[in-house]
Structures are given as structure tokens and as C-alpha cells.
Structure 1
Amino acid sequence: MDPAGGCPHADNARLLARGAVAPVLLPGDVPGMAVLGHDALKEFLARPDVAKNAQHFTALREGRIPDGWPLRTFATVRGMTTADDADHRRLRGLVGRAFTTRRVEELRPRIEALTAQLLDRLEDTAAAAGDGVADLRRHFALPLPMGVICELLGVDPGHQDRLHHLSNRVVATDIGPEEAMAANRELVAVLTAVAAARAADPGDDLTSGLIAAHEENGDRLSREELIGTLLLMIVAGHETTLNLITNAVRALCAHRDQLGLVLGGEADWADVVEETLRWDSPVGYFPFRYPTRDITLDGTLIPKGTPVLAGYSAAGRDTAAHGPDADRFDVTRTARHLSLGHGPHYCLGAPLARLEATVALERLFTRFPELDLAVPPSRLPRHAGFVGNSVHTLPVRLRPATKDHGQRP
């Protein structure tokens, strides 16, 4: 795996041509496996003999993984993503009520209001630049999901920029041991401060509820699980939706015919979200799962205790599942994908991510139907690392430079 990441699709196609399961070399020359094929990944994610708890990670258990390994947090953080069976159900139950379809729908007015505010700021930023160009990722796709998840958690807005920077470092695969350890320490320190603030002044937010569960019954939620759950909520609650919105805008700008179908009513914004999740998954490869015994998947042996990556971006373009035109962006396609997971660890925040992305895209292109990329797609710098899948910046021109559209209403 290339620690610097880059566009994964050419490598994915090359690997898929050889099979649905492939041996890979992780950073630090750690041997692992990747499941790339759609059907194989769907089976793998639901197997009862595949675990998330790092006690099953042989190399880690034997002391062969250093503290500064860039993927270590994925394995060792205490929370839903590293828990199995009863522990997983307990932790998921503590936060699940905040992410039901009904509770998420109640957030719609706040999401719509925040979207409108951010679009005003985006337009002002483009106007101030003189050339009508603004970085949509920085000024719109990022602050929307970050603002929503921080409100849900009761996090002071002053922490948001730092939390994004640190969570970005946590999911990076191209940083050295010292930087990785420093980012983890600081992120834990910031989240500990957040928890302390909510303990001193509890409110109607998820963090206060988790603290109450910890204080009422420490067996229900340990201190490490509390911080680990906050870390998971912050990272997963904004990084993936940030990439989803960014990737969808980039796809629509590069496929104006597909944007025309949506603006013309022949497809809807939910179709755009689902096709983007399939065609350009916000997550390239997600660490880790570990077979609890030797297993054979699609004819390939995966030894017990091997760290296995879930290849979501590869599965989304698997021609065996999606047909020979799997690499074509088509919003009229009946998109089936695994980008939000499958089985017991299916993404808890899926309803929220879908709502945020749908509202964001609809309001963005309704207000700026001629929005387009300000640079050729090939010049967009890719996200560092192979976990997240997106571009680092997305400069867009909100309106054609030759037209005067007057003042904002």
C-alpha cells in the first residue's frame, strides 16, 4: 500500500484483475490482506469468525507493531470500531439513539440553516478573492458535517479547526512515528478537555449522556471507551461526509450530463449520493478486521490473526458486481454498494451522512447551477493516505466569469 495514497482506482482495477482478495504490505512492512471484490467483501464483513478486537491481531499481540505505527490507532482505540459481540452491542446501544432515522430527521432544519449560512460565506469568499474562486472543500464541505457533529456532541466551536487537523493526522498513513504519536496524544487531550467541560456543565448532548452513563455505571462505559467513542464520533462524523460531499461535487462538475439529469428532475439528489458512495467511496481502505481462525475467501487463504483492510473504493467499481461500465458515473444506476459497511458494524451515522450530503448538494447546485471546477480535475491534489479517498482541495468558480449575476438576494 502506498502510504502517500493518491487516486486508488487504477491500482484497484489492477488488483481486482488478479482476484477479489489480495495480499498487501502495510506501512512498516507489516504483511496484511485486502478484500477488494464486492461479493467477497460483503461476505467477509458479516462473517462471525472475523473480529475487530486487536487481541486477535497476531503481530500486535506479539509486540511486533511499534507505538508510532501510523495505523495503530485504528487497531487500539477503545470503542465500537474495535469491539465485538456483547461489548460492541453495549457501546453501539449507548450512542445509537442519537442516530436513528427519526432523530436525524429532527436535525434537518438545523442542517438546512447551517447550509444556507455556509453558502453565504462561500459566495463572500469567492467574491473577496477577485476571481470568483473559492475552495469548496475548506469553506463548505468541511464546516457542515464538522459543525453538525460538534453540536451533537456539545463541543465548543473553538475546538473545531484543531479537531479537524488532528483527526486528519490520525487517519493519515504517510506520517512518521513521532508525528503520529504526537497527534494521538493531542487529540486525546482535546477530547479529555471536551469531556471535562461537559461534566462540569452537562447539557442535552451526546457527550453529556455518555458521561452520565460512565458515572452511573462504570461497567457500562469505561473512561477509555468514553474518549475512544468521542474520537470515533469526531473522525467518522465529519471526515467521511466531508469526502462524500467533495467527491460528489467533483463528479457532477466532471459529468455535466449527470448534473443536468438531476436539475431536470430525471434523477434526484439522493441518487447522486448513492452513486457517489459507489463510484468514489469516501473511504479507500478501512483498517482492520482479523480472522479468528484460518479462513478461505474467494479461493484465497487468509491466515488467523492477519490484519485485513476492507477495500470499499475497489468494491464500488468491481465489474463482477456492477457490470462492465462500473467505472462510469451514472446517477440513474440502481446503486448498490458497501461504502457504509455491512453486517453488525454497519455505519451508525449513515442516515446523518445521507441527509447532510443530500441537503448540501441540493442547496449548492440550486443556488449555483453553473458552479464548475476552477482547475482541471488532474490538477486537484489527492488526499494523503490510503484510508480516506478524496482530494485535498476543491477550488470552484461559483458562476461563469463572463456573466454578471448581480448581488446575492
Structure 2
Amino acid sequence: MSSNTADAHRVDPAGGCPHALNAGLRARGAVAEVVLPGGVPGAVVLGHEALKEFLAHPEVAKDARHCPALHDGTVPKDWPLRVFANAQGMHTADGADHRRLRALVGAAFTARQVERLRPRVEELAGELLDGLARAAAESPDGVTDLRTRYALPLPMGVICELLGVDAEHRGRLHELSNTVIVATDTTPAEAMAAVRELVELMGTIAATRRRHPGEDLTSALIAAREGDGDRLSEGELIGTMRLMLVAGHETTLNLISNAVRALCTHRDQLALVLDGRATWTDVVDETLRWDGPVSWFPFRYPTRDLAVGGTVIPRGTPVLAGYTAAGRDDTFHGPDADRFDITRPTAARHLSFGHGAHYCVGAPLARLEATVALERLFTRFPDLDLAMPETALPRQRSFIGNSVETLPVRLTAAAPGPDPAAD
């Protein structure tokens, strides 16, 4: 990478559909130099093999102390993307600290523990589908928003129950997490205010659990001690809770939304799974590869000048993981990587859950929620379809999250229009 950013791609805070941009940048190399909002130089890793190498490289860190620009006055104090660097928790920790923090939550997300949640996930999906049907029946045109009535409350309900978050806080938590983590077109003042309120609300939830501990993950984190008797620091507690909440619903919300969009616009693929010739797990894996819920995720920092995919990334550069770009890398997934194909042999080798030590601890839960959500939805409403052209759906205003803002659907096939021949 050069020190001159004149030719670097300037990241649009408003985001939008990432795939055409990814293809153009990837054609020039596996790593691209970028200018982040606020004029901060950075890089994004776009190729599958390059990203896999980078994510697991021992000389790539998550701790922002490895990024001098964040500490020497180069980057403004109110830079909105500082929220990713300043957070405390396992997602910004390295080495022994990362292993300690991950161990505290990992036991709750093993495949065995997650499978125990299946009856509750199925029960919640059924309740939400009843509500979806009622909303469609009460709508004059039979249209309802699948995203807000199903794709959001399912994972939000599950993660909040796991964390012991009372129902009264859930709506505001989603609004704040979306502002802080997903939306990248907010002003510095808006972002900082949302961060403060989110931290305060997490503190309120933690205080409630301290007074009234229960069989939930927050209570367990509060009580957690290492062998030397040290508790989590308050910063680590709030940071871990925030990570669990945000990652536990925002990404699965996008995954379910993107899978529904893909199946509605590829009815041949939906037929495969409804006929039993493919599985809902196949649908989830191909969605994660073809249109993953996270596009470019911040940040990792090389601890030395590092050659990745034929490009040297200077030490301390804030680097984005280009998950949606790697998912359509035709050098790995084949010349038809732009095609949605749930029988694709390489689909399960996507990187959308990460790779290496920071592989998503909640991956088993996300898979369970998405497979149950999709199976229950299309089994009950096999004719479900989008209520507007897919290309007209409003995109998330983000270069981090990758989905749509709303997902209006009809649960049954639209009634045919009048027959012109009848006149």
C-alpha cells in the first residue's frame, strides 16, 4: 500500500448494496486501500484466501493500542468508528485476555447448550408467525413487514432471554445498537450520544441482575471469577453484554432477512428445499456466502508491516474484514460465485462467522435461529413473496451491516388481476 491515498477508495458512510463495489475492488487485488469516513486511512481485505489468512494471522491484533493514529491525535476523539476500537470485551482483546473473556461466555453457546434452546426458539417462531398472519389479515393490501415482525423479534427475544433483559428495554436496545454499530451515516454527536445511552442502559440491566440474580448469562458474568478470584471489570462486563446483545440479534436479523429475499427471488432454490432435495442448513450457508449479514467489519491491526494477498499492509493500519467480498470471490467459489445456489459445494466454507481465535462464539445459536425461522416460515407460508421488486427495497444505510431496512411481504400468492379477454 502506498502512503498516498489519492487513489484509495473512499468509503461511503451511507453504504448500500456492496456487491458491485466488491467486484470492482476485488478485480484489482485481494486487499484494497480505503479512506474511512472522517478521512482516516485504512484497508479492506476482500479475497477469500487472503481474508482467511489475515483473520488467523498471529501478527494481527484486535486491541486498538496497536493503532497509533487512534492515540496520537491523528484521529479525532469524536470519530464515530471509535466505538469499535474503544469497546472492552473479547472482541477487542488478544491472547490470554481474549481466552479468559471468551471462556466466560463460551459455555453458553456450545452446540449442546444451544440445542437445548430449540424448543423455545420454535415456540417463539410459532407465536411470531401467528402475529405475522394477523398483521397481514388486518392490512388492507395483505402486506406486512417481515423484518420488524419476525426476523427481528425472534433473535432479539432469544438473546434478551439469555441475558436476562426485561422486555421493556428491548425496543430501545435495538434502536441504540443499530445507531451505534450498524448505521454508519450518523453524525459524531448522534453516535456519541447513542453510545452513552447504550452503556447507561447496559449498566441499568447489570444493576438489576446484581440485585436479582437469575439463571441468565448476565448474572453468570457478574458472578464469574477466575482462579485468582478476580471478577470481570465493569468495562469488560458492559462490553461483553453489549457484544452479546448486538451480535446476538443484528446479524441474525440480517441473515434471516437476506435468506428470505434470496429464496423469494430464486423460487427454484426454494423448491429444492421444500421438496426435500436440499436442507435449510444449505440455505443458511449459501446465504451467509452469497449475501452475508455483515459487509465490511472493523477493525484489526497488523502489529508489523504485513504482506497479505500480495499487498503490504503497514503496521497499525485499521483493517476491515470484507466478508461480503470474500463470499463472492470467484477464485475460490467458482466462476458462478455471483449465483445463489444452495447445492454449491463450497458454500459451507464461507468466512461470514470469521476464522481463527475470534470465530463467532454465537455461530451455533445463529444457525439454529435462522434454520428454525426459515423452515417454520416457508412451511406455513410456501407462497410467501416480496410485496415489491427486490431492487426497490430500501437498503441499510451502512457499510458494516448488509441487508434492507424493511421487508414487506405477502404471505399468500397475490390474487390474479382481471382477465383482459373477459372484456
1:358 to 371, 385, 400: 371
What corresponds to 1:391 in structure 2? 404
Distance in 1, matches of 2:330 and 2:78, equals: 38
What is the SS of the residue equivalent to 1:382?
coil
What corresponds to 1:268 in structure 2? 279
Show the 5 A alignment for 1:105-254: 105-171=115-181, 172-213=183-224, 219-254=230-265
Flag structure 1 segments of 5+ consecutive residues without an equivalent. Answer: 404-409
Q: Which amino acid aligns with 2:79?
A: W
Distance in 2, matches of 1:185 and 1:30, equals: 23
What corresponds to 2:300 in structure 1? 289
Flag structure 2 segments of 5+ consecutive residues without an equivalent. Answer: 1-10, 417-423
Task: Return the offset for 1:219.
Answer: 3.3
Contact 2:223 2:231 in 1 (8 A): no
The C-alpha deviation readout for 1:83-122, integer Å capped at 9, x for no partner, is 0000000000000000000000000000000000000001
Decide whether aligned partners of structure 1 residues 229 and 168 sit closer, same or farther in structure 2, where only a CA change above 3 A counts.
same
Alignment pair present for 1:58 and 2:68: yes
Contact 1:214 1:226 in 2 (8 A): no
1:77 to 73, 79, 87: 87
Q: Which amino acid aligns with 2:391?
A: S
What corresponds to 2:4 in structure 1? none
Q: Which amino acid aligns with 2:409?
A: V
Contact 2:256 2:374 in 1 (8 A): yes
Alignment pair present for 1:95 and 2:105: yes
Distance in 1, matches of 2:291 and 2:242, equals: 25
1:314 to 304, 321, 325: 325
Distance in 1, matches of 2:187 and 2:56, equals: 34
Contact 1:70 1:174 in 2 (8 A): no
Q: Which amino acid aligns with 1:156?
A: D
Task: Return the offset for 1:183.
Answer: 0.3
Distance in 1, matches of 2:412 and 2:149, equals: 16
Distance in 2, matches of 1:192 and 1:214, equals: 19
Contact 2:146 2:407 in 1 (8 A): yes
Task: Return the offset for 1:290.
Answer: 0.2
Name the count of aligned residue pairs: 403
The C-alpha deviation readout for 1:271-291, integer Å capped at 9, x for no partner, is 000000000010001100000
Contact 1:288 1:307 in 2 (8 A): yes
Alignment pair present for 1:339 and 2:322: no
Task: Return the offset for 1:400.
Answer: 1.7
Cα RMSD over matched residues? 1.2
What is the SS of the residue equivalent to 2:38?
helix
What is the SS of the residue equivalent to 1:390?
coil
What is the SS of the residue equivalent to 2:409?
strand
What corresponds to 2:3 in structure 1? none
Alignment pair present for 1:298 and 2:309: yes
Task: Return the offset for 1:216.
Answer: 9.9
The C-alpha deviation readout for 1:238-275, integer Å capped at 9, x for no partner, is 00000000000000000001001111111010000000
Distance in 2, matches of 1:268 and 1:68, equals: 46
Show the 5 A alignment for 1:13-24: 13-24=23-34
